[in-house]
Amino acid sequence: MRLPNSESIAAKLIWCSEAGSTNTELIELAKGQSLPDFTVMATANQVAGRGRAGRTWQAPANTSLAISVLLRPRLDNPADVSKLGWLPLLGGLAMAENVSHILGHGEGIGVKWPNDVLVSERKICGVLSELVPLQAANGLGGTSVAVVIGAGINLTLTDSELPVPTATSLALAGASLPESLDERIDLVLSGYLARLHHWYQKFTDARLSASASGLRSAVQENCVTLGREVRAMLPGGTDEVGQAVGIDENGRLVMEIHGKPFEVAAGDIVHLRHN
């Protein structure tokens, strides 16, 4: 696979003709060697993909792209690990911007909090971030950490190949993609990596301040969850229904329930209706 544009952005690019889960394999690789910041592993044939809450997914070979990126941000102090909750949103923002560029418009494209990218209410990409165990992050002493951001984007899946009716692909959304598989992969991968690197650089330059880096405002502008009535399905098995009104400094979704703010740190969000 020739991916010149993607190789020029990644510190190290590992292309796999087949992979179980690129997140799992990149994490395992990082345990055995000191990989540079912004190491990328990707495949167009992921056979054991993982999502949030242990969900699995798989697509026919060469119809989707799985991308995992190892990030090694430096923390000013151990408490700053809470700021890494922005990384899934950063990944989603980068992919939403990439999809908008490929489709030639931004209408109906955005981040569904906390980890999906939608096109006209249909999921085109999911994001899964995982913290690499500190003792396994070789060469990362002191207050350094390693995080892997995984993203899976549907490229050319047809209606009959979609995992669920609420999904879509770049092809179904009207993208004009190169006929060559190498060029198609390089276009989508390099576009995502360029936007991811842009926001990651701004975020780390601002010492992981989502506000100072502009990340918080950009995510809020691109978040299709805000301004809607939503149901938050929380980890304890409870549900809360309210208006999604913002994203706080720690990346939590802020809902308004009976006139009072309610912060959601983790959970599944169901869009109910627009105002």
CB 219 within 8 A of CB 247: yes
Q: Is 142 helix (H, G, I), strand (E, B) or coil?
A: coil
Quickly name the fold that domain 226-269 has: SH3 type barrels. (2.30.30)
Q: Is 8 helix (H, G, I), strand (E, B) or coil?
A: coil
CATH class assigned to 4-220:
alpha beta
* Burial label, 255 (beta-carbon count in 10 A; 0-12, 13-18, 19+): buried
Q: For the CA atoms of the chain, what is the radius of gyration?
A: 18
How much is the mean pLDDT over the chain? 91
- Residue 226 confidence (pLDDT): 97
- Residue 51 confidence (pLDDT): 54
| pLDDT exceeds cutoff 70 at 15 | yes
**Residue owning tokens 């994490």:** 27
d(CA 131, CA 145): 8
Q: Is 257 helix (H, G, I), strand (E, B) or coil?
A: strand
Tell me the backbone φ, ψ of residue 102, rounded to 5 degrees. -65, -40
Provide the residue type at 213 as one letter. S
- Residue 31 confidence (pLDDT): 87
Residues of 49-74 as b/e, b for ≥16 C-beta within 10 angstroms?
Answer: bbebeeeebebeeebbbbbbbbbbbe
d(CA 185, CA 43): 9
DSSP 8-state secondary structure symbol assigned to residue 78: G
Residues of 229-240 as b/e, b for ≥16 C-beta within 10 angstroms?
Answer: bbbbbeeeeeee
| pLDDT exceeds cutoff 90 at 274 | no
CB 181 within 8 A of CB 200: no
pTM, two decimals, is 0.92
Tell me the backbone φ, ψ of residue 248, rounded to 5 degrees. -80, -175
pLDDT in tens, 145-187: 899 999 999 999 999 999 889 999 999 999 999 999 999 999 9
d(CA 211, CA 188): 28
Tell me the backbone φ, ψ of residue 221, rounded to 5 degrees. -65, -30
CB 230 within 8 A of CB 242: yes
- Residue 136 confidence (pLDDT): 42
Least confident of 1-10, 16-25, 74-83, 134-143: 134-143
Q: Is 148 helix (H, G, I), strand (E, B) or coil?
A: strand
Domain with CATH 2.30.30.100 in the chain: 226-269
pLDDT in tens, 111-147: 999 989 999 999 999 999 999 875 544 444 444 689 9
Domain with CATH 3.30.930.10 in the chain: 4-220
- Residue 75 confidence (pLDDT): 86
pLDDT in tens, 44-81: 999 876 555 455 556 788 999 999 999 999 888 888 88
Strand 64-71, strand 39-43: pairing: antiparallel
| pLDDT exceeds cutoff 50 at 218 | yes
